């Protein structure tokens, strides 16, 4: 299966292409975006976006990750959403970032809903989990809006920019979708 293309009311989620690299560098290069993620380096240097995008096809071919560009008709690329897959356990870890100019429009939630639906319905996942830094309540709100359940807080779980961060962990099971 080639990289899926998913449509929502306002968004198209599609594979990244090499042409997206300058926009990725600009949006993900914002300190405010990098600050609350585990994987986005800062400064986000030339070549990093290209290398990240280049890895997506083999990640998907090997079913280790599905990373999609979040796009709107008027603004083009506004962010990214992805599932890091552990198919041997029927689970995935959800991740997302949205460029600062596009925050608080519901895009992260709308994009994540679509990729989660694909994960449950097409990839046969049983569990999708996600984690956010305690100082990132907007991401926690997204996880709540996605119907995820708070499972744990791992105190001082990761070092980010020389600061220890508490990690708040959420998850949703396939069976949760059919109840309340």
Ligand X SMILES: CC(C)(COP(=O)(O)OP(=O)(O)OC[C@H]1O[C@@H](n2cnc3c(N)ncnc32)[C@H](O)[C@@H]1OP(=O)(O)O)[C@@H](O)C(=O)NCCC(=O)NCCS
Stretch that binds ligand X, among 9-17, 33-41, 45-53, 148-156 (CB under 6 A): 33-41
- Interacting residue with ligand X among 105, 154, 157, 160 (CB under 6 A): 105
Stretch that binds ligand X, among 30-38, 43-51, 114-122, 172-180 (CB under 6 A): 30-38
Q: How far is the CB of 139 from ligand X (least distance, A)?
A: 4
Q: Binding residues for ligand X, how many (CB under 6 A)?
A: 20
Q: Is 33 in the site for ligand X (CB under 6 A)?
A: yes
User: Count of CB atoms within 10 A of residue 153's CB?
Assistant: 12
- SS3 letters across 131-152: EEECCCHHHHHHHHHCCCEEEE
Q: Residues 136, 150: contact at Cβ < 8 Å?
A: no
Of the two residues 57 and 146, which places its CB atom closer to ligand X in the complex? Answer: 146
Q: Is 118 in the site for ligand X (CB under 6 A)?
A: no
Of the two residues 124 and 137, which places its CB atom closer to ligand X in the complex? Answer: 137
Helices and strands, counts by H and E, the chain: 5, 8
Show Cβ contacts of residue 30 under 8 Å, excluding neighbours closer than 6 positions: 99, 100
Question: 3-state DSSP call for residue 105?
Answer: coil
Binding site for ligand X (CB under 6 A): 33, 36-37, 96-98, 103-109, 132, 136-139, 141-142
């Amino acid at each position: 299966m080639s990289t899926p293309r998913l449509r929502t009311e306002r968004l198209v989620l599609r594979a990244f292409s090499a042409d997206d690299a300058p926009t990725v560098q600009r949006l993900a290069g914002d300190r405010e975006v990098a600050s609350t993620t585990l994987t986005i380096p800062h400064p986000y240097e030339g070549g990093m976006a290209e290398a990240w995008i280049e890895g997506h096809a083999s990640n998907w071919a090997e079913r280790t990750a599905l990373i999609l560009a979040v796009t709107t008709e008027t603004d083009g690329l506004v962010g990214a959403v992805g599932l890091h897959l552990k198919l041997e356990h029927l689970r995935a870890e959800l991740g997302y970032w949205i460029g600062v100019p596009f925050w608080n429009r519901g895009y992260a939630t709308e994009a994540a809903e679509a990729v989660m639906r694909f994960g449950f319905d097409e990839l046969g996942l049983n569990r999708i989990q996600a984690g956010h830094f305690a100082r990132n309540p907007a991401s926690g709100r997204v996880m709540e809006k996605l119907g995820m359940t708070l499972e744990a807080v791992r105190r001082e779980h990761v070092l980010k920019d020389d600061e220890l961060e508490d990690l708040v962990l959420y998850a949703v099971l396939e069976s949760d979708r059919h109840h309340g």
